[in-house]
């Protein structure tokens, strides 16, 4: 409204917001801001929510509010899930140089991110006090909407974390609420920083074996990878849902739809050959068989 229509934000009135202006805004998001159709739809959902509210607060303009509510979402292309195989994860985690502090930190961080299927922000926010280092080993992860979940950990996972925490004196009382992973200034790492670190190791791994490292890999790919590996190991979707912190198992079903290996195995088990197997003509031809035997 301010950049395109030259209306000062403080002077915008409800009468300035029409169906036409909303559509122009949505188109501007994609053409000028280069946002995706999915982002466009998220903005539209927020606008729809506001005008649902206005129908009750200002019913005198209900016809215009309903025109705005009639704007449809735009179909967006669904991206495929990018994930690494178990061998791909192993190769990636072999890249950090463990003779250096940063290499040991990066190994501990990305191993934990995979093991717990954590989002980037969840890893950034983890504190030493979130980890239970006595049996049963668990880690408390605070996800979207400030919702916490307790994720079980194996003893092998704890070894890396315990070694890292011991080296950085994170068991001391004054460090319990510090960030678990931090930069040179003892500050939390940023999302961009972690993605940059991962990109470096992805490029290193791709040079060694490009077949194991997909073209498009992000920190979220580690979360996808763990979910896929749990599914391939036969873990029930309900448990995977809780492990990932999803509200509904419907969200978790994307992994079942994406797993082509399980689809193939299921189809192969259910396959019934309904086409009659043809017998070669020469099998029942005695004269031809006698003639072929004469060449012995």
Q: How many CA atoms lie within 13 A of 188 on its CB side?
A: 15
Place of tokens 């290193």: 204
As a whole number of angstroms, the distance between CA 36 and CA 28 comes to 11
Active-site option among 83, 114, 164, 255: 255
C-alpha closest to that of 179 among 195, 165, 199: 165
Active-site option among 223, 226, 229, 241: 223
Distance from chain centroid for Cα 55: 37
Active-site option among 119, 206, 226, 241: 119
Q: Is the peptide bond before 136 cis (omega within 30 degrees of 0)?
A: yes
83 given a catalytic annotation: no
Active-site option among 52, 90, 144, 207: 144
132 given a catalytic annotation: no
With contact defined as beta carbons under 8 Å apart, do 14 and 28 qualify? no
C-alpha closest to that of 141 among 156, 126, 152, 128: 126
Q: What angle do CA 208, 194, 92 make, to 5 degrees?
A: 20
224 given a catalytic annotation: no
H helices within the chain, ranges in order? 19-31, 37-57, 62-69, 86-93, 101-115, 120-125, 155-167, 191-208, 219-232, 237-244, 249-258, 260-270, 286-293
As a whole number of angstroms, the distance between CA 37 and CA 79 comes to 12
255 given a catalytic annotation: yes
Active-site option among 43, 48, 160, 220: 220
Active-site option among 104, 206, 241, 246: 246
Place of tokens 């559509």: 23
269 given a catalytic annotation: no
52 given a catalytic annotation: no
Token representation of residue 191: 């999302």
C-alpha closest to that of 39 among 30, 51, 52, 48: 30
State the catalytic residues.
119, 144, 220, 223, 246, 255
């Amino acid at each position: 409204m301010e950049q395109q229509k030259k209306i000062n934000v403080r002077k915008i009135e409800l009468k300035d917001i029409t169906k036409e202006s909303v559509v122009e805004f949505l188109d501007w998001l994609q053409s000028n801001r280069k946002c995706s159709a999915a982002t466009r739809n998220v903005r539209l959902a927020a606008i729809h929510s506001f005008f649902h509210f206005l129908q009750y607060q200002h019913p005198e303009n209900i016809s215009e509010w309903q025109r705005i509510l009639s704007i449809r979402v735009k179909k967006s292309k669904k991206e495929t899930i990018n994930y690494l195989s178990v061998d791909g994860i192993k190769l990636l985690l072999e890249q950090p140089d463990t003779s250096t502090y940063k290499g040991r930190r990066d190994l501990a961080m990305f191993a934990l991110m995979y093991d717990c299927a954590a989002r980037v922000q969840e890893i950034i926010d983890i504190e030493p006090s979130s980890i239970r280092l006595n049996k049963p080993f668990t880690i408390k992860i605070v996800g979207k909407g400030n919702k916490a979940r307790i994720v079980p950990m194996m003893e092998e996972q704890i070894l890396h974390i315990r070694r890292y925490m011991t080296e950085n004196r994170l068991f001391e009382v004054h460090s319990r609420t510090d960030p678990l992973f931090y930069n040179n200034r003892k500050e939390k790492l940023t999302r961009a920083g972690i993605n940059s670190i991962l990109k470096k190791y992805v490029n290193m791994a791709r040079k060694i074996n490009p077949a194991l490292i997909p073209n498009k890999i992000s920190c979220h790919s580690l979360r996808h990878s763990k979910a896929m590996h749990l599914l391939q190991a036969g873990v029930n979707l309900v448990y995977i849902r809780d492990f990932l912190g999803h509200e509904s198992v419907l969200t978790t079903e994307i992994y079942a739809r994406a797993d082509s290996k399980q689809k193939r195995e299921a189809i192969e088990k259910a396959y019934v050959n309904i086409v009659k197997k043809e017998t070669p003509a020469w099998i029942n031809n005695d004269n031809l068989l006698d003639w072929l035997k004469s060449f012995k």
